[in-house]
Structure 1
Amino acid sequence: MGADTQSRRHASGAGSLTFLAVPDDAIRRVGILTEVAAIEKNLDYELPSEFVGPTSVGSRVRVPLHGRSVKGWIVSDASNADSQHDVKKVKASLGFGPPPEVIDLARWAAWRWASQPARFLSSASPETIVRSLPTPPRFEPSEAPTSPLGVLGIECARDLNPSVIRVGPVMDPFDILLGMVKELLDDSTLPKSLLVLVPGKGYSRRLVARLSRRGVPAVDLADGWPAARAGWPVVVGTRSACFAPVPHLAGILILDGEDSRFFSEGAPTWNVIDMARQRSLEAKAPCVVVSSTPTALVMNGATLRELDQTTESAHWPRVEVVDLREEDPRSGMLSSRLIEMSRAALDAESSEVAVACIVNRKGRARLVACRRCSEIARCENCESSCVLDEKLECPRCGTSRPVICRSCGATAMKLLRLGTAQLAVELQALLGVNVKEITATSGPDALKGARALVGTEAILSRVRHAKLVALLDFDHHLLAPRAGAEISALTLIGRAGRLVGGRTRPESGAVLIQTRLLDHPVVVAAEHGDPHLVVDADVDLRRQLHLPPFGSLARLKGPGALEYATLLEAKGCQSAPLGETEFLVQAKSTTALSDCLAGTPRPKAGVRVGVDPESV
């Protein structure tokens, strides 16, 4: 962010306009941005004399357009338009919409991620018609928290530059929130709102309930849009809450800033970190990210605040590592140490779920390993896992080499396959307890009666506590052929640790890692509870390769991808083919790429553009 990015904002022409005040005898005209994404310009409409409803900038209306009725937002005052110009009338009011600041934010986001403002304004608008707003409560925050995290929260609330607080993954960040509430909402002459962003809906509901018990008026945006629009003191929500309609922003707090759910991989692609920092920049308000494994995006341009290493390490889980190279090949992913620790966990844990085993997402990923020594086939250039064709091919950097094991020289390779369903059956037979398979599509009753679980990372969102969490084949995460794989793998360990507790507590459990790469930096960092080596390496790698946030790229897909990539190359971008109808376009900065995309019409053949996607 900064002046360079700020200068590229697309002004809506409604910066200080609140209500449209025009003489009674004048033609009341307004500029409308419709929900039709293909139409980005404002269209003039007349407010009829019988119009009833809010006329503030951001208010929602229904208007006629090309023979049909569409929704839209009031974005400007068009009262000074040519009175001889024939305009159509607004058909109806649809109640309150987002405030002017969010209209501006949507226009900036449309430029930043090569999309249309209407797509973002839809996220900022209520699902139902809101015709009245509640009165926000007045409250006086209690005494400021004196804990180290509470003090950090107060310090960050006083800093208008982006801040990052690094904590252990099992550390409770609630005092950070209380510190910001005290600093930003105490003795405020104007009702202001603190916006808190969390990765999941369950987390949002629990946080609102916890704040309410402490006497802090808080609302979950999922069912409290009118309260947020009225200016409730604390508004909590998930990714789309970046566009929460709070009229006076006091600050933004992002919890678990490393979580992949803060990235939208749909159309358009966008991320919470950049969006929140832009909004706080415009509002001259602090933006604070709390993270256990801050990514390069989180760290970019931010001030890092952290606790002492001993305290941070104590809030990482206890980690045990199993070397799969020394296991009996016939045991597959169910090592002898896993079975031993699972039985101990079942004996020690009286709660319903004692053991949670996590395998690669969807259970279909493949690794290539040596038949003789079980060494994983890795790229000599970037250390990513290779795929087996006529040669060993690296899907990350394109390097190929002969089918020869780097460790023992053997030429025979094997494919390692995983499947959650089969593993659940085998584990149940070995443990003699009910084992359930859990995936993202599992129903709400999937955990009922289960003492042990096998499944994808969805387990981490379904279960609050376990004595043992086992990452059955961690190499799939360590060697994923994409940038940021290492820090994502360390983040997974941190998320697993929240189920078992910190390493210094005697009642805590453990995270079991099964791998063939015992000396990998991620494994070493997890064992010592010290993420800085992995975090620093992620920043260095992205800087060297000019990957976001140290450069910008866009993935082009569709029949018009080649034509569009050629047009962008002519304007100074670099492109590389990913397939017949897929290209990757790269520029030196966000501003350069966004300007190129905004100034280059898309081909008629059709192309989908994803700017700075997480999965690169």
Structure 2
Amino acid sequence: MSVHVLGTLAHLDRAFEYAVPDTLGAVAPGMRVRVRFSGREHEALVRDRYELPETTRPLAPLLKIVSEDRLISEGMFRVCEEVAKRYAGSLSDVLRLAVPARSAAAEKAHRARLERDRDTSAHAPGTAHTRGSAPLPDERSYRAKFAGLGAFLEHSRGGEATPRATLVLDPVDSWISLVIEALKSLDSDAGAIILASDQRDVDRLARALTKSAIDHVQFGSAQGPHARYTAFLSALDGRAHVVIGTRSAVFAPVRNLRMIVVWDPDDDLYEEPRAPYPHARTVALTRSFHERCSLLYVSRAPSDFARYLTLAGTLAALEPVPAPHASTHPRIELMDAYLREREGASGFSRLPSHAHAVIRRGLAEGPVLVHVPRAGYAPALACRFCGTKATCVQCHATLAAPGRGELSCSVCARRYGQYRCHECGGVDLRPLVLGQERTAADLKRSFPHATLHVSGGASGIVDDADVHDGDLVIATPGAEPQVTGKYAAAVIVDASASLGRAEYNADTETVRRYSHVIGATRTFDCGGQVLVVGPDQHPALRSLVLVRSNAFIDRVLEERTELGLPPSSKVIEIRGERAACSDFLERFEAPKSTEIFGPTEAASFGIDAEARVILRCPVNRAPELVEAARAAMLVRSAKKLSGSLRLQVDPPHVF
């Protein structure tokens, strides 16, 4: 038989043959076993079993069967291989992500439960299980609201076509209601995986599914080993057809998998922090192709990743049927020059009088949300005259002056004795300072009778049920409580700080986060209003008031293609000791059109390494670049060279 040994060195990441003793004749593909490898006992997963070995050398015997459950199918083996190849990692590392650590107590309890269910079913009459029927298409049905969604759900039930699509919700829409309708459209024995980046969203979905009588299990890293392995076994034996969870749930062994739904696919919480650092949305796409199941990306704002795949023909865009703006969106207002000048000097403050008026009106109708930037963003530099962010002329990454030293680029290490703005030619720069410390204190003085909640950061996350009408909530991105009936008003402050973060995708990330604030606010028909305090002429903020338009995201993709930024390019980061980075470059055979930046001093830019190297190439040459980088790492592993290195494909926040 062939097994894949877990925990080996990268250059030994392949299948090995072992002999099966007569006492262990029950071993089968997918089981967890123990073998002796390189003088030590290791866990391994059985890949295949056959009668005759492929080698003439004597084979070492299998030591024991750890679990008689067939934990991974051949299809999931292929998915894991593709993920390892795409991220220049080892199959062993991906298998550790796909198959959780064994819990003997959970396994014992699971087998006892199966025995009880088997005895009960033998003496009880059979009952037909149904998940429920899909609602008829009407004004409340998402099938009727989004053109093509009905066909998507029908094809998800089976057939030759495998639909993959992206869908952008209006603020009035609920992603949970959409998921429930999609699940009810599937057959009762069809499997589905629903991903949410935040555990609070998973808990909200779980409560809604329970209320709708849809059987499901939660699967995620927030669970303990016992609960996690129990959920894994429930999906493995077919007891649980619907699995919901955070990023790790994308590997759940769901039987008869027919649909994967990813909520808010651009959230950085989907990025796996362990090697080979796969992104859950990419794993979902890979699994959709290998297991021929439908895939749906659902978001509040147009996703650059999903839009890029849509323009490439990989995804279909499900557009909403035209509807009155007042019934789908709140009133969205930008603090423009007219409002500022009408108000006078206070109109140019961080919290102008108009923002106080919006809050005051909202508190009379319900809860009000004040959205502030998250603390800890790396401050960027901008032109003092026109406000344009300072970027490198060579690689287009954001410039910084670490420790108030010389202005330089963290990617290509180019230094600038004197910087000149690309737009106006100005030479003076200013930091984009983040100010949020006094927000709660200022608002408490202005609204002393309102109950004040601060959500996020050191203060902790406020529970949804703790917010009532007349309450004032100050929250950072992702920490907004989702209140019943939504917020009567919302004020977004420090928009210039969010847009000025030292990241190439600061504009799209700002739109994504602000779209969640807009989605948590009542519609215009119900008196809802959102005020954005920031540079009102910025394309990102202007896109918030353009209903169902892809103009902004298309412009962003065009600019990134012109500048060689993701997703139109493939980027690899290697970080570690400086000598090891230099040795990697000596062994790296760069494919055609590859750009190499570095090694640069990484520690001076707040990176946990001495140095780093950035590799970049057009996306059509991505497989060659990834394979060349992996080959250089394998040579270092085989030679057992000193110096640790970390390789990451598509690293976040490099540029």
Does residue 460 (structure 1) correspond to residue 480 (structure 2)? The answer is yes
Cα distance in 1, alignment partners of residues 207 and 2 from structure 2:
41
Q: Residue type of the partner of 1:594? A: V
Cα distance in 1, alignment partners of residues 377 and 647 from structure 2:
29
Please list, as runs of the form range in 1=range in 2, the aligned pairs for 1:545-560 lying within 5 A after superposition: 545-559=563-577, 560=580
2:142 maps to 149
- Cα distance change on mapping 1:267 and 1:427 into 2, 3 Å: farther
2:648 maps to 610
* Aligned-residue offset at 1:590: 2.7
1:244 maps to 252
Cα distance in 2, alignment partners of residues 193 and 307 from structure 1:
27
Q: Residue type of the partner of 2:98? A: A
Number of aligned residue pairs: 574
- Cα distance change on mapping 1:250 and 1:426 into 2, 3 Å: same
* Aligned-residue offset at 1:192: 3.2
> Which of 365, 369, 373 is the equivalent residue of 1:359?
373
Does residue 322 (structure 1) correspond to residue 338 (structure 2)? The answer is no
* Aligned-residue offset at 1:216: 2.8
Cα distance in 1, alignment partners of residues 27 and 362 from structure 2:
62
TM-score (norm 1): 0.80
Cα distance in 2, alignment partners of residues 571 and 407 from structure 1:
35
Does residue 34 (structure 1) correspond to residue 3 (structure 2)? The answer is no
Deviations 1:361-386 (A, max 9, x none): 4266355564xx7x524349999986
1:469 maps to 490
Q: Residue type of the partner of 1:155? A: A
Question: Does the aligned pair in 2 maintain the 1:265–1:613 contact within 8 Å?
Answer: no
Cα distance in 2, alignment partners of residues 529 and 69 from structure 1:
60
- Cα distance change on mapping 1:429 and 1:384 into 2, 3 Å: farther
Question: Does the aligned pair in 2 maintain the 1:193–1:249 contact within 8 Å?
Answer: yes
In structure 2, the residue corresponding to 1:421 is in which secondary structure? coil
Q: Which segment drifts farther, 535-544 or 273-282? A: 535-544
Structure 1 residue ranges without an equivalent (≥5): 1-28
Q: Residue type of the partner of 2:195? A: L
1:338 maps to 355
Cα distance in 2, alignment partners of residues 146 and 346 from structure 1:
37
Q: Residue type of the partner of 1:597? A: A
Q: Residue type of the partner of 2:650? A: D
In structure 1, the residue corresponding to 2:306 is in which secondary structure? helix
Cα distance in 2, alignment partners of residues 380 and 43 from structure 1:
50
Identity between Structure 1 and Structure 2 (%): 18
> Which of 547, 565, 590 is the equivalent residue of 2:622?
590
1:563 maps to 583
TM-score (norm 2): 0.76
Deviations 1:84-109 (A, max 9, x none): 61414323413532332222211111
2:121 maps to none
Cα distance in 2, alignment partners of residues 290 and 50 from structure 1:
51
In structure 2, the residue corresponding to 1:417 is in which secondary structure? coil
* Aligned-residue offset at 1:440: 4.2
> Which of 444, 456, 473 is the equivalent residue of 1:428?
444
Does residue 87 (structure 1) correspond to residue 89 (structure 2)? The answer is no
In structure 2, the residue corresponding to 1:126 is in which secondary structure? coil
Question: Does the aligned pair in 1 maintain the 2:277–2:648 contact within 8 Å?
Answer: yes
* Aligned-residue offset at 1:219: 2.2
In structure 1, the residue corresponding to 2:288 is in which secondary structure? helix
* Aligned-residue offset at 1:566: 4.6
Please list, as runs of the form range in 1=range in 2, the aligned pairs for 1:537-552 lying within 5 A after superposition: 537-552=555-570
2:606 maps to none
* Aligned-residue offset at 1:306: 0.4
2:29 maps to 57
- Cα distance change on mapping 1:111 and 1:407 into 2, 3 Å: closer
- Cα distance change on mapping 1:61 and 1:501 into 2, 3 Å: farther
Structure with the larger helix share: 2
Question: Does the aligned pair in 1 maintain the 2:590–2:625 contact within 8 Å?
Answer: no
Please list, as runs of the form range in 1=range in 2, the aligned pairs for 1:286-305 lying within 5 A after superposition: 286-299=294-307, 300=309, 301-305=314-318
Does residue 417 (structure 1) correspond to residue 433 (structure 2)? The answer is yes
Please list, as runs of the form range in 1=range in 2, the aligned pairs for 1:10-409 lying within 5 A after superposition: 29-36=1-8, 38=10, 39-51=12-24, 55-77=27-49, 79-81=51-53, 85-96=58-69, 97-127=71-101, 128-129=103-104, 130=107, 132=110, 138-139=129-130, 141-147=132-138, 149-150=142-143, 152-157=148-153, 158=155, 159-174=161-176, 176-178=178-180, 180-185=182-187, 191-222=189-220, 223=227, 224-231=231-238, 232-264=240-272, 266-299=274-307, 300=309, 301-310=314-323, 314-323=327-336, 328=345, 333-349=350-366, 354-362=368-376, 365=379, 368=382, 370=384, 375-379=386-390
Cα distance in 2, alignment partners of residues 40 and 526 from structure 1:
48
Deviations 1:451-497 (A, max 9, x none): 44445324236777544433321122323343332221111111112
- Cα distance change on mapping 1:413 and 1:365 into 2, 3 Å: closer
Q: Residue type of the partner of 1:254? A: V
Question: Does the aligned pair in 2 maintain the 1:34–1:70 contact within 8 Å?
Answer: yes
Q: Which segment drifts farther, 133-142 or 145-154? A: 133-142
Structure 2 residue ranges without an equivalent (≥5): 119-127, 156-160, 221-226, 602-610
What value does the CA root-mean-square deviation take over the aligned residues?
3.9
